[in-house]
Amino acid sequence: MWEGDRPADGVAAASDFERLYDRYIASQAQAEPTARIAAYVAALLERYPDIGTEAGADSPWSTGPLISEACGPLVYFSMVWSRCDETSAWAAHLAEEHGVHCYDPQLQQLRTPWGRPWRFELKSARGHAVHDPDPDLVRKVLVQVSADHYFAVLTRSDDWYLQVGYGQQAGTRAGWYALERRDGAPDQHYRAEVTNLEEVVRAFVGFTQDDPTIVHRLPWRTYSV
């Protein structure tokens, strides 16, 4: 998390993060946290105290004290893998409340608002929401669709969407994927069932690229919710 001008998009956020990381973390610089970053860390600790303390027996942080991970306008910290989905979503929301920016190096995505509108938003059962994902990130999210994390949905800013569900929880057979798309109006709702994950990835990537062959390539049928 860092304070400063809002990044225009995910690419700008990645550049800002790498620049700040090199300056404050990789170089092992010594600088007092800014007041805003210190207040943000204090808010994190108000809910989840430092690991290694009596109050922090259930803390999700991997290192402590957490304030030691802050340097100047940046705080860079890790968390326990089993708690990362829930905790990172909350930490990103808290960052927005405190006026700092949250970048997720695992997803390579800015998790607080961009400086410009997004066109596509990708969400999954894991709880992450990413804006305008590139093909590699689309694949990374979709390969995790399974019986445990059984859906992902890609929404366009005009409310068109494409979603996928896995297995019986999505109303299809075990090992199959159920794709649904809505072309704007509620009566333009279609469903197709496939077994090949590559078809799912191709459809999602194609949707982000306005590929018109999506409507012909898969066995769509009209679907009523």
Rounded alpha-carbon distances, angstroms, from residue 41 to 9, 77, 95, 109, 207: 25, 10, 10, 21, 39
Identify whether residues 70 and 143 lie together within a single domain.
no
Domain coverage including residue 20: 10-110
Identify whether residues 57 and 100 lie together within a single domain.
yes
pLDDT at 225: 65
Q: Which of 64, 54, 58, 68 shows the shortest CA–CA distance to 25? A: 68
Identify whether residues 127 and 94 lie together within a single domain.
no
Identify whether residues 97 and 47 lie together within a single domain.
yes
Identify whether residues 142 and 77 lie together within a single domain.
no
| Mean pLDDT across 68-92 | 93
Among 110, 132, 153, where does a domain finish? 110
pLDDT at 2: 97
Identify whether residues 78 and 35 lie together within a single domain.
yes
pLDDT over 70 percentage in the chain: 99
State the chain's mean pLDDT as an integer.
Answer: 92
- Backbone phi and psi for residue 78, each to the nearest 5 degrees, phi listed first: -115, 165
Identify whether residues 88 and 164 lie together within a single domain.
no
pLDDT at 189: 95
pLDDT at 115: 78
| Mean pLDDT across 132-161 | 93
Predicted confidence (pLDDT) at residue 196 exceeds the cutoff of 70:
yes
| Mean pLDDT across 182-211 | 94
Identify whether residues 103 and 15 lie together within a single domain.
yes
- Backbone phi and psi for residue 162, each to the nearest 5 degrees, phi listed first: -135, 130
> Token pair of 215, please?
């409507």
Going by pLDDT thresholds of 50, 70 and 90, the confidence category of residue 224 is confident
Going by pLDDT thresholds of 50, 70 and 90, the confidence category of residue 53 is very high
Among 76, 110, 144, where does a domain finish? 110
List beta partners, residue 110: 103
Q: Per the domain annotation, does 91 fall within a domain?
A: yes
pLDDT tens string 7-27: 888 888 999 999 999 999 999
Number of structural domains in the chain: 2
Q: Per the domain annotation, does 115 fall within a domain?
A: no
Identify whether residues 142 and 192 lie together within a single domain.
yes
Q: Per the domain annotation, does 4 fall within a domain?
A: no
